[in-house]
Amino acid sequence: MDKITKELLEQVAGLHEIPVGAYNIRKDGELYGRNVSANINIVTKTDKPGIDIIVKDNTVNESVHIPVIIAQSGLKEAVYNDFFIGENCDVTIIAGCGIHNGGKDASEHSGIHTFDVGKNSKVKYVEKHYGQGEGTGERIMNPQTNILLREGSYMEMDTVQIEGIDSTKRETRAKLMDDARLVIKEKIMTHDKQHAETDFSVDLDGVNSSADLVSRSVAKNESTQFFRSEINGNAECHGHSECDAIIMDSASVTALPALTANNVEASLIHEAAIGKIAGEQLIKLMTLGLSEEEAEKEIVAGFLK
Amino acid sequence: MLELKNVSYEVSDENDNKEILKDISFTIDERFVAITGPNGGGKSTLAKLVAGIIKPTSGRIYLDGKDITDLSITDRAKSGISFAFQQPVRFKGITVKDLIRFAVGHDISTTEACAYLSEVGLCAKDYINRELNASLSGGEAKRIEIAMTMARGTSLSIFDEPEAGIDLWSFQSLIKVFEHLHEKAGGSIIIISHQERILNIADKVIVLANGQIKDMGTRDAVLPGLLMDGPACEKLTEKM
């Protein structure tokens, strides 16, 4: 494994070596490595780029790693990954994309992920986006996630983009059936002239379904962020969304929440806060001996932890 | 030793200049010094001037003979000043462990954190990974604020109304914290307080009213005059 691949894999998937269990590593548009397990099968799609990940009923305590690495400047790809999670499963899925752009052409990855989560299954989905490279070419990622949570299922999606992505548009669509629960935790940091857009849309169709969407972001320099979240309460359900942003320098952040209740028993809440780092937080850390720059760094790191 | 020489602090609004502190001079090298007086008398302003959060309009401030008037908050903290705020600051994502780490200046173990947190009646196991956010009660946040000052162990510590909001925890324990801090760090501890029980441990009492020093001296000299001052109406005395 070369140095760049190793670095990117470590950044996006926390991998130091080839992982245990099922995995599919895609590098520069091609299959770099794959392993399946007795319960988890991975099949290459025949009609378009991408894979099907099929998890058998009752698969518990297993993980799937599906990192994507782009080290070739100018590569543009759209990849379709479909997850079929059986019933009564408990699995962790670690996705993520790392781009190293050493050239002048834009590199772009659009990952379209579709989840069909079976009854009473539990899925933890971790997605990390990271860019590096000395080149002037843009690093672009546009992930799309479509989620269907069947009766009694649960999904937690942790999505992180804290460095090196010039432009991103992240769309997440979810449909929840009875007693299903979705938790999304998003963390974004943009700097320089980067742009990040988040677009959540969740339909709470099932009785006693619930969703909790939390986004924390930091916008530095001249970067711009746009946050949109939509929750539709179509049954007796609970929906909560929260957008909390720290704005610095000449950055710009827009939060556009939308809640629609189509049922009298739907209970929906949205909270949004955008502001600079509170002066008293800086002062407190400075009275502990930190410089203003150190205090700012710690406050941002804590906020995105 | 802390010395203030002719320190004044003014704020100006559209119409006029308001003097919050007028020509304050004193020297502190006693173990425990209490600053008391009516609300709005300038006590917290004085603490902020010493910590460097605000700068005096005129006058000089010396720490151990060195002029610190122009030093930043950070440099004053590094010179040996700690300041426990009246209203603890809340953060998002920063944990109790992080704050104690900043206070002591290096990574800490749970055992080490326990040494400070147990002083303020908190169990390190329960609190070390808690975020210092709005989920903590006022009393918990206040005790953590005191523990951080304890962890710094500098030669000068200032506590702004440490007893306010200390809920179930007792005054006796708070006084023990000051004693332990002094054993560990030496130097002086300045306590801004209205509480008679805290004034009772002070080696020196400074009474601030209307931005001026109204009285200053040993506890025995100052306290009798303070308690006789401005008797509360009967109704209030009954309820107290």
Helix, coil or strand: residue A25: strand
Chain B residue closest in CA terms to A291: B74
- Residue listed under structure tokens 């790809």: A77
pLDDT score at A135? 86
To the nearest whole Å, the CA of B77 is away from the closest chain A CA by: 5
Chain B residue closest in CA terms to A288: B103
Stretches in chain A below the pLDDT threshold 70: none
Of B74, B98, B148, the CB nearest to A286: B74
Chain B CB contacts of A288 below 8 Å = 77, 99, 102-103, 148, 152
- Cβ <8 Å between B77 and A280: no
Q: Give A195-214 pLDDT, tens digit per residue.
A: 999 999 999 999 999 999 99
C-beta of residue A89 within 8 angstroms of C-beta of residue A118: yes
In a domain, B235, yes or no: no
- The series of mean pLDDT values per 10 residues for chain B, 240 residues long, is 96 85 96 94 96 97 97 97 96 94 92 91 91 91 94 96 78 90 94 90 95 94 77 59
Q: Which domain holds residue B77?
A: 2-230
Sign of the Cα torsion A278, A279, A280, A284 reads: positive
pLDDT score at B168? 59
Chain A residue closest in CA terms to B79: A289
Of B72, B89, B93, the CB nearest to A284: B89
- Residue listed under structure tokens 């996006």: A12
Instruction: Give the count of domains, chain A.
Output: 1
Chain B residue closest in CA terms to A304: B93
- Cβ <8 Å between B51 and A287: yes
Chain B residues contacting A, CB < 8 Å?
51, 53, 72-74, 77-78, 81-83, 85, 89, 91-95, 98-99, 102-103, 105, 148, 152
CA pair distance A292, B123, nearest whole angstrom:
31
In a domain, A304, yes or no: no
Of A278, A283, A288, the CB nearest to B148: A288
Helix, coil or strand: residue B46: helix
Q: What is the pTM of this model?
A: 0.86
C-beta of residue B132 within 8 angstroms of C-beta of residue B91: yes
Q: What is the CATH number of the domain that holds B155?
A: 3.40.50.300
- Greatest Cα pair distance, chain A, in angstroms, is 62
Helix axes B96-104, B138-152, angle to 10 degrees: 20
HSE-up (13 A, CA, CB side) for residue A231: 29
Chain A CB contacts of B48 below 8 Å = none
In a domain, A147, yes or no: yes
pLDDT score at B51? 97
In a domain, B237, yes or no: no
Q: Identify residue A108 by its one-letter amino acid code.
A: E
Closest CA to A93 of A22, A32, A148, A178: A22
Chain B residue closest in CA terms to A290: B74
Instruction: Give the count of domains, chain B.
Output: 1
Torsion of CA A17, A23, A26, A31, to 10 degrees: 110
Helix axes B96-104, B110-117, angle to 10 degrees: 90
Question: CB atoms < 10 A from the CB of B126, how many?
Answer: 10
- Cβ <8 Å between A289 and B102: yes
Q: Identify residue B180 by its one-letter amino acid code.
A: H
- Cβ <8 Å between A289 and B91: no
Q: Which domain holds residue A102?
A: 3-275
- Cβ <8 Å between B93 and A244: no
Of A216, A288, A304, the CB nearest to B77: A288
In a domain, B116, yes or no: yes
- What's chain A's length in residues? 305
Q: Give A284-299 pLDDT, tens digit per residue.
A: 999 999 999 999 999 9
Residues 6+ apart with CB under 8 A from B6: B23, B24, B25, B58, B59, B60
Chain B residue closest in CA terms to A246: B92
Q: Please, which residues bridge with residue B212 across strands?
A: B209
In a domain, A42, yes or no: yes
Chain B CB contacts of A244 below 8 Å = 92
Q: Please, which residues bridge with residue A169 across strands?
A: A197
To the nearest whole Å, the CA of A236 is away from the closest chain B CA by: 28
To the nearest whole Å, the CA of A221 is away from the closest chain B CA by: 22
pLDDT score at B237? 58
To the nearest whole Å, the CA of A287 is away from the closest chain B CA by: 5
